[in-house]
Amino acid sequence: MRVTRLTAADVPGSFDGAAKGYDLLVGLNPGYHRALRTSARALGLRGRGAGLRVLDLGCGTGASTAALLDVAPDAEIVAVDASAGMLARARAKRWPGTVTFVHSRVEDLDVHGPFDAVFAAYLVRNLPDPDATLHVVRGLLKPGAPLVLHEYSVRDSLLHTVIWTAMCGLVVVPAGWLLTGDRSLYTYLWRSVLRFDGAGALRDRLRRNGFVGVRSRPVRGWQLGVVHTFAGLAPDRERP
């Protein structure tokens, strides 16, 4: 069977078709939602009360949105995704009135800042121009406000590259194909992670685009060394 090779531009349309089985698929991943909540906590929003505005980029069916509500239940959340199918699944769930869903590619996003925080889960790897988007995102943040990326990154480690490849070949691609009927999307996922920045390169990318206080750590659990939390801050004042 021939598998179509997807590009980043094809991904939103492929997720439209995969949306029906997506929640079931990630539900089979032990620790998936817990890891998202761990990264959301890195924003440092817990206990800050009402009045916060948070931008959730690449929200999918709402798993990252739920993680944000766990740490900032009173925040206004603007959740964005390029896949109409994934957003339809997200909107069908029960949300407080403070959550708004927006259908848009991140690179075409038209929202009004500033935001107190930006969260992006499994997004930057799929952007046609990550640097341009990160530069725009920095401009949407209040001075000193946090950005957190929850992202796969294995390129710095041969061991974790092998683990990721084995995980995809034995579990991710077969399960994705079975539950969504789309093998090409999950083959793209495997390849895109192999091509993507190592953790050091992604930290450098954030610094290059003006973020300060950049740091990262692997999430705990069976995905240790495969999925990471990356955090940085918008500078207190813009460079001249």
Q: How far is the C-alpha of 76 from the C-alpha of 69, rounded, in Å? A: 9
Q: How far is the C-alpha of 174 from the C-alpha of 171, rounded, in Å? A: 6
- Segments in the chain below pLDDT 50: 1-3, 240
Question: Nearest Cα to 46, choosing from 114, 123, 117, 103?
Answer: 117
Residue 193 has which token pair?
């992670």
pLDDT at 9: 67
Q: Which residues pair with 229 in a beta bridge?
A: 150, 217
What are the backbone angles phi and psi of residue 122, rounded to the nearest 5°?
55, 40
What are the backbone angles phi and psi of residue 148, rounded to the nearest 5°?
-125, 130
The fold of 8-233 is: Rossmann fold (3.40.50)
The answer to whether the bond into 114 is cis (omega within 30° of 0) is yes
DSSP one-letter string for 98-165: TEEEEE--GGG------BSEEEEES-GGG-S-HHHHHHHHHHHBPTT-EEEEEEE--TT-HHHHHHHH
List Cβ neighbours of 134 (8 Å cut-off, separation of 6 or more): 124, 205, 206, 209, 211
What's the pLDDT tens digit per position in 183-223?
Answer: 888 888 899 999 999 999 999 999 999 999 999 999 987 77
* 3-state SS, residue 89: helix
Q: What is the pTM of this model?
A: 0.91
Domain ranges (residues) in the chain: 8-233
